[in-house]
A and B are shown apart, each in its own frame.
Chain A
Amino acid sequence: MAEFAGNAGSGLLDLSATSLADLPQLGDEMLEIALDRLMQPCGDGNDDMPAAGGRARIWQNYRTV
């Protein structure tokens, strides 16, 4: 089975070893596609807490009895 992820629409760009000095070379289109994917909801739901950037992406746990 192939590895998961691998293109701009479905994966996360690997910039972990990229020089910050080289980042400006990243194309605008590639950056926007990568951001769009990152900003998609993924199991959000805690709309009852202050949210970063208007999107919750926070998982809050109360102890229920």
Chain B
Amino acid sequence: MKEASSGADFHQLAPADLMALAGGHYTESLIHRLRAAELSKNVLLLEAVRREAIRIGSDGIGTIIDSACEVLRTAQASRPGAVARLLTLPNFGLWAVESLTRLRTSPQQQPGKQRDVTVLKADVGHLATFAAVAALRTQQHCQLKLPIRDGVIHLPTLGRVTVPVGSSPSWAYFVSDSHGGTIASGSWKLHLLATGSPSAWGAMIDWTPAHNVTAKSHGLAIRLSLEDSDPFLSQLIPAPYAISPELVKEWQERLTGAWEFLTHYHRNIALGLAEALTAIVPSAELEHGQPITATSGWAWGAVLLSLPSDKLSFAEALTHEFHHMVLAAVEDIITLINSATHDDLCYAPWRDDPRPRSALLQGSYAFFGVAGFWLRQSYAGSSADKQRAEIEFARRSQNVSDALAELRNWAGLTDAGHLFISKMADQLAKMLAEPVNPSAHATARQVNSEHRARWLRTHEIRDDADLVHHRLDI
């Protein structure tokens, strides 16, 4: 295993790799490298949290972090792959960036903020729950303090245990050995079996196992956790959504259908998803009939979704969010947008609100993926399905073409950024050369034109010339 010496290595992408990603030509190997970069990001954040906790040096935060890190180090020595999987989890990434930011804006120096400090300690101390899972997986002898939040201890990937205590943050003691572990708080105690026996976990009192959905089709499998209660991922949910066994069944059925589509007609997207996606964060719709999907670069590996109405919508949503994940990882490795350049708001064909120009790149890439999805989909299914697919393709390809034109002359793109969108434009031109019913393009033009006109009206911009003079500064 490499040392973190002064002769540091960096993640790199050869121009051919960047062009492959820009053109939507994914391979398992490329996505695996992006995943490795995300692991590096989380490890870097973990080390920064550890140093910051020591620097603050009060209220025992440093001790809790140090104990957890020691358990993770020992686990890594025997099962590096298992620890790498834990540290690449989306909830780990979100814990890490949230903890670092919170520690650096710590209320410790501010008088009268004891409650904030207690909450901060529980939030940052959540690292111990990842360490406890690592200890169980490696049958390690260890002792840890686990935070109890709202009467619940969350063990990532395994489930959550309800503890009969009050709602204020407190702590439980975790002890493990080669046979399993024990969690205790006051007179309450729970024995956990050694890892690898989900049925035993599920049978325990006070224990709610993690919800998982799986699918296998055309020789390719995917396994996803449904993260409805993780304390960090939950912060991303705009509309609360309590998942029940019946809803898990619905998610399972729709994933099975979507995965069939993806593995059959969109093979390279499916290969990428199988490598990159580990969790779905379910959300309610914002309003009835208004689905929502989202991705966070900090929670890499997770997508937030309201329950898609059908398997095709599910497959489309996963394709869209997969592209955000890919570009998030690319932007962690290389700089596509110069953050020092003045940003301004502009029209984004897929949004009703003015968007920063820098956000256009992410949106363009996601809808570039969606355009490809519908083009491939237009070769499949019934004539009604084909008609829908052709219209969707025509609409989204026009949207991306417009957005790339907007980006092409923007000084905010770096050389690599310009190269990236040039390759996207080349690939889009190839897609647009495919035979598509002219009426689909006409319908798409009309829908797009109406959207733009509505946007201009809503934001009180009379025409495109006026738009140039009404750039809304951030």
Q: Which residues of A contact B (CB under 8 A)?
A: 1, 3-8, 10-28, 30-31, 34-35, 37-38, 40-46, 48-50, 52-55, 57-65
Interface-facing stretch out of B261-269, B272-280, B325-333: B325-333
Is B215 close to A, CB under 8 A? no
B40 lies within 8 A of A64 (CB): no
B455 CB → nearest A CB, Å: 9
The binding surface of chain A is classed by DSSP as loop
**A6-B48 contact given A61-B366, A62-B290, CB 8 Å threshold:** no
A-B contact pairs, 11 of them (CB 8 A): A14-B8, A17-B1, A19-B4, A19-B77, A25-B4, A42-B358, A45-B359, A52-B236, A53-B298, A58-B295, A64-B351
A12 CB → nearest B CB, Å: 5
The binding surface of chain B is classed by DSSP as helix
With a cutoff of 8 Å between Cβ atoms, the chain B residues found around residue A22 in the complex are: 1-5
A43 lies within 8 A of B327 (CB): yes
Docked CA distance A28–B50 (Å): 12
A59 lies within 8 A of B366 (CB): yes
B10 lies within 8 A of A13 (CB): yes
Docked CA distance A19–B264 (Å): 40
Is B51 close to A, CB under 8 A? yes
Q: How many residues of B contact A (CB 8 A)?
A: 84
In the complex, which of the residues B4, B47, B290, B324 contacts A63, with contact meaning CB atoms closer than 8 Å? B290
* 8 Å CB interface, B283-319 against A: 286, 290-299, 317
- Which chain A residue shows the least CB distance to B8? A13
6 closest residue pairs by CB, A with B: A45-B359, A53-B101, A11-B10, A4-B334, A60-B294, A16-B36
**A12-B40 contact given A38-B332, A52-B94, A58-B296, CB 8 Å threshold:** yes
In the complex, which of the residues A12, A17, A44, A53 contacts B100, with contact meaning CB atoms closer than 8 Å? A53
A10 lies within 8 A of B335 (CB): yes
B339 lies within 8 A of A5 (CB): no
B8 lies within 8 A of A8 (CB): yes
With a cutoff of 8 Å between Cβ atoms, the chain B residues found around residue A46 in the complex are: 294, 359
In the complex, which of the residues B12, B43, B77 contacts A3, with contact meaning CB atoms closer than 8 Å? B12
Docked CA distance A61–B236 (Å): 13
Interface string of B1-26 (1 = CB under 8 A from A): 11111101111111100100000000
B322 CB → nearest A CB, Å: 12
